[in-house]
A = this chain, B = another copy of it.
Amino acid sequence: MPWGDMLPMIFADFLRNRRREQLSDQDLAALEASVSQVRKTHARQLLAHAGEPIACSTYLMEGFICRYMDDRNGLRQLVAVHVPGDFVDLHGYPLGRLDHDVATLSASKIAMVPHEALDGLLAQRPNLTKLLWFSTLLDAAMHREWIFRLGRLDAVARIAHFFCEIEAKLRAVGLSDGSRFALPLTQADLGEACGMTSVHINRMLRELRERELLQVQRGRVTISDLAALRRLCDYDPSYLFIGG
């Protein structure tokens, strides 16, 4: 029996249902051993600020975290929403500093990985290194999909597309059954993710509700017709590399 099963598994959800088969028990053990601290945070708490050097990356075990950029008027644009199993700012390791802020959306449980430990992994574990690299490129693929969403989709489709992505990510780690999941975002947050005002988000959510595709209430999302929702925004989850 792989000894990973015997320990508290911090990285149990890391790349789960992605390409997990490539992660050997030894690599997993090395990754677990590189964690310096596991801690809990409150909701709406700033974890890292744009520009400052970082020496530690954050892996999300429970809860929701977002990354965002501010314009000069303080208006936010979200660039990512992270769910359990995401290595939120692993890119800070090769980059050395972040070009965006990182903050929790909900109360969360996170694991801290010092970059010194990652140096060790990089030098000794090429397979693990490639997998870590892969995970940062998964984020880049999501960025591209966000660019497409903002550049080519209208308001309803943007929202639909956003929820399709979140649903697919949550399902991969067992937090969605394909129709229901928790998502602690306000309509203002959705606006900051989809590049529109919260007022218009509200109207478009009503439309999605009336078309019986999607319902949002009190931080819970109910997707009544996932296939139709995906059709609406031409959603294809292959960029998430789920299922191999």
Contacts and interface: CB of A to CB of B under 8 A. Distances in A.
A146 interface: yes
B144 A100 contact: yes
A232 to B, nearest CB: 11
A236 to B, nearest CB: 9
Nearest to A231: B72
Contacts of A141: 95, 99
Copies of this chain, tallied across the complex: 2
Contact of A134 (B79, B94, B146): B94
A77 B151 contact: yes
A112 interface: no
Contact of A146 (B67, B72, B147): B147
Interface of A: 51, 67, 69, 71-72, 75, 77, 79, 91, 94-95, 99-100, 119, 122-123, 126, 129-131, 133-134, 136-141, 143-148, 150-153, 194-195, 234, 238-239, 241
Given A95-B137, A99-B144, 18 more contacts: A51-B238, A69-B148, A71-B152, A71-B153, A75-B152, A94-B137, A95-B134, A99-B141, A99-B238, A122-B130, A133-B133, A133-B136, A136-B137, A136-B140, A143-B143, A147-B147, A150-B151, A151-B194
Q: Which 8 A-B pairs have the closest CB atoms?
A: A151-B195, A143-B143, A150-B150, A99-B239, A140-B140, A94-B134, A77-B151, A79-B144
